[in-house]
Structure 1
Amino acid sequence: MSRSIEEPRNARSRRSRAALLRAARELVEEQGMAATTMAAVAARAGVSRRAVYLHFSSRADLISELFGYVNEVEDLEGRFAPVGDAPDAVGALEVFAHRHAEVMSRILAVSRAVEREAGSDPDAARHWETALFWRQETNRALMIRLHDEGVLAPGWTVDTATDMLLALISNGVTETLLLNREWDTTKIGEHMALLLHSTFVARD
């Protein structure tokens, strides 16, 4: 097969795969994980179930790929890159607060849907476990940096501060402020930055 024929086919395959993942995300956000079946994804994308299975061997495979798809579409790595580029730990913590507020406003619907059904849906549980792992790793890196630069507030260890930060940036907190109290992302970021600074940074 010539390269000129192969490349368009590969491009079509990538577009089809992305369309299926987009359909899966929409279903998760609108109806929850339980409703996100292979048949439902096929119907939402306007294709046959067989077409879905050509790209994903199982629902578990589809949900697993959904995590990477959301990360890629929302450019989570790029959005959080300035945290690591901050000149010091205190600055990194402030940047993190703003970036977290921005990102969560974009992925809250899918994140909440997965969290809600993690206890009853094995595919959701695996997805949620992965999400929590990366949140915790990001939190730990911040707290290690505060500790190593000698500015972690007294009374905290890296472990306890990491766990507390996980609680402070939970989906429930974001949902309360963003949806219930109707704060915008700028307001959430500014006040989260104040909270994290007063909680975790040692006073001069």
Structure 2
Amino acid sequence: MPSKSIVEPMNARSRRTRESLLAATRAILEEQGFEALSMTAVADRAGVTRRAAYLHFATRAELVGALFDYVAAEEGLTESLRQVWESPDAPSALDQWARHLASYHSRLLPIDRALQRVRDHDADAAAHYARVTAEQMRNCRRLAQRLNQEHQLAEPWTVSSARDMLFALVSSDLIGALLEDRRWSRRRLAEHLSVLFRSTFVATSNGGEFAG
């Protein structure tokens, strides 16, 4: 049995190779789109052999499936959402959700656009998009439920309709148009999304001004 001192460096090398493959996958998607994504292209971009790539990911689908967790870790998804869920009340959670969209989601625009282009005819892209959508829907429902539980959900919204509208506002077209076409800063985007969310979904008059 190999000694611990030998196993740990091997594991470290394995982790580095895996991360290099996932970083290469992200770079290819952002620069060239799903159309250019193949195991060969990823291996070449990562500077490893195809055999090494297949040792970590048996298929392209498995590689793309691992991308969500990799990007989430790289971009700090857990911490970004923690700010939302630990907010003292539902309106404050909407403020943090606005910040989350302006910061975290805006950094994923190239990947999202790559997914959107091909998800109707690329099974791997469709599977990744489905996971992203499911996570976003879950978060939007949680926000709507909190508003409802705190008796702050404005009429005529229901938990279901508020969830759906919040999800629709997680829009790469909307965020991209304001950040890229209209040259808004991320801070300005967060501030105005917060005003939009509060004025639309919050029944009470305890908000309306961005806290930050």
- Same topology, TM > 0.5: yes
Corresponding residue for 1:137?
A: 138
How do residues 109-124 of structure 1 correspond to structure 2 at under 5 angstroms? 109-124=110-125
Q: Write out aligned runs for 1:5-84 (5 A).
A: 5-84=6-85
Q: Which residue of 2 aligns with 1:195?
A: 196
Kindly state the Cα deviation for residue 172 of structure 1 after the two structures are TM-superposed. Answer: 1.1
Bigger mean CA deviation after superposition, 163-172 or 134-143: 163-172
| Distance of 1:36 and 1:106 partners within structure 2 | 20
> Equivalent residue for 2:185?
184
Distance 1:72 1:99 in 2: 15
Letter in 2 for 1:165: L
Structure 1 consecutive aligned stretches of length 4 or more whose deviation exceeds 6 Å:
none
Sequence identity, in percent?
A: 46
Counterparts of 2:8 and 2:60, CA distance in 1: 28
- Whose relative contact order is higher, 1 or 2, with alpha carbons under 8 Å and at least 6 apart? 1
> Who is 1:2 aligned against?
3
Secondary structure at the aligned position of 1:47 is classed as coil
CA distance in 1, matches of 2:121, 2:179: 27
TM-score relative to the length of structure 1: 0.97
CA RMSD of aligned residues (A): 0.9
Distance 2:167 2:61 in 1: 26
- Alignment: residue pair count: 204
Q: Post-superposition shift, 1:113? A: 1.0
In 1, Cα distance between the equivalents of 2:86 and 2:19? 31
Q: CA deviation at 1:98?
A: 1.0
- Give the aligned partner of residue 210 of structure 2: none
Residue 115 (structure 1) shift: 2.1
Shift of 1:203: 3.8
Q: CA deviation at 1:179?
A: 1.4
Instruction: Give the gaps of 5 or more residues in structure 2.
Output: 206-212
List alignment gaps of at least 5 residues for structure 1: none
TM-score by length of 2: 0.94
Query: Shift of the alpha carbon at 1:168?
Result: 1.2
